[in-house]
């Protein structure tokens, strides 16, 4: 079994970042989303290492063993992408392939546009790339919240922190669920109407069993990390839509030229596969993969299938 090693790296952006990695060779950096950790990529690191890659998975800014600065403005995409460039510097790498899921998907697509010289190739898992929106995305959500109402609920500092942190075991038991019928409930299917209900997990059962995609040990990795850190760092990513939109003006209209991969999941209730339509129009070197029987947590629900898609794509890179 390939060993996963851990280190804490001091970045030139001023934060200390916890990094897990496996293997040697050309680097692939994995960026996780909310509410996750480097551990979400535990199935990918050994698979890539065994195929001859240097697989690198940090706890992103605000998460796990990485520093969580105090201010909301410390969590812009500009700051987080600067972390990724600084991470390459600290690890002695000029370029890497970047793979991201959920918020990490936004990071890797932004890296490809704002730091193109650092990105050899880029892959989004569930998270599509989209051209710059005509208005601030937060304003668009306020006009038509739909399934993104949870992001409006996340805007008021302290509110979601209190709900999600009140019983961390319950939070992760309800949130980390697969499309398998045995899992029955899915908190992510209820991301509409969150403010009206008074919380993301309001009305969810108190006694749910953990998902079939997780061992008890897996679940406790997340629970123990968040009992220590709380949720504020990750939630602050959602509170910078306006700043991120302003930053994106600098690359408006620019194509993503690097080799790219979009992996969609047929049962994701939030990041729907159809959201990725039209990506070919401005990402000319786009390949695609699709996993139909898979919900939001693709790396954990369908690791073998995702690894196969990633490794075939990586092997074909110029």
- 150, 153, 226, 238: the catalytic one is 238
192 Cβ neighbours under 8 A, 6+ residues apart: 145, 146, 147, 149
How many other C-beta atoms are found inside a 10 Å radius of the C-beta of residue 15?
19
Q: How far apart are the first and last CA of the chain?
A: 29
The packing angle between helices 168-175 and 159-166, to 10°, is 90
In whole angstroms, what is the distance from residue 136 CA to residue 117 CA? 27
Active-site choice (74, 83, 102, 218): 102
238 labelled catalytic: yes
The pair of structure tokens assigned to 241 is: 């839509």
Joined tokens for residue 66: 């990485």
User: CA–CA distance from 264 to each of 33, 60, 270, 290 (Å)?
Assistant: 16, 22, 12, 5
Residue 296 known to be catalytic:
yes
Which regions of 126-245 does DSSP assign to beta strands (E)? none
241 included as an active-site residue: no
Structure tokens at 98: 């970047």
Give the residue numbers marked as catalytic: 102, 238, 296
């Amino acid at each position: 079994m390939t060993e996963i090693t851990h280190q804490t790296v001091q970045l030139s952006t001023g934060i200390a970042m916890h990094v897990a990695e496996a293997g040697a060779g050309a680097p692939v950096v994995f960026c996780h989303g909310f509410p996750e950790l480097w551990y979400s990529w535990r199935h990918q690191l050994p698979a890539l290492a065994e195929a001859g890659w240097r697989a690198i998975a940090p706890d992103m800014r605000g998460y796990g063993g990485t520093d969580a600065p105090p201010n909301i403005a410390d969590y812009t995409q500009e700051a987080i992408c600067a972390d990724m460039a600084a991470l390459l510097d600290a690890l002695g790498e000029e370029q890497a392939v970047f793979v991201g899921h959920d918020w990490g998907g936004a990071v890797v697509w932004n890296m490809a546009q704002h730091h193109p010289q650092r990105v050899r190739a880029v892959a989004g898992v569930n998270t599509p790339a989209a051209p710059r929106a005509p208005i601030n995305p937060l304003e668009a959500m306020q006009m038509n919240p739909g399934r993104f109402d949870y992001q409006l609920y996340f805007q008021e500092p302290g509110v979601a922190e209190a709900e999600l942190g009140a019983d961390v075991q319950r939070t992760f038991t309800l949130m980390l669920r697969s499309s398998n019928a045995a899992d029955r409930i899915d908190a992510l299917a209820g991301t509409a109407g969150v403010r009206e209900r008074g919380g993301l997990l309001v009305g969810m059962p108190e006694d749910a069993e953990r998902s079939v995609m997780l061992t008890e040990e897996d679940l406790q990795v997340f629970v123990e990390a968040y009992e220590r850190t709380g949720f504020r760092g990750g939630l602050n990513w959602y509170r910078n839509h306006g700043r991120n939109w302003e930053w994106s003006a600098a690359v408006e209209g620019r194509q993503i030229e690097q080799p790219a991969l979009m992996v969609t999941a047929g049962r994701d209730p939030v990041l729907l596969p159809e959201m990725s339509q039209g990506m070919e129009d401005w990402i000319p070197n786009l390949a695609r993969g699709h996993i139909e029987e898979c919900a939001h947590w693709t790396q954990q629900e369908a690791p073998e299938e995702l690894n196969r898609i990633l490794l075939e794509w990586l092997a074909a890179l110029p």
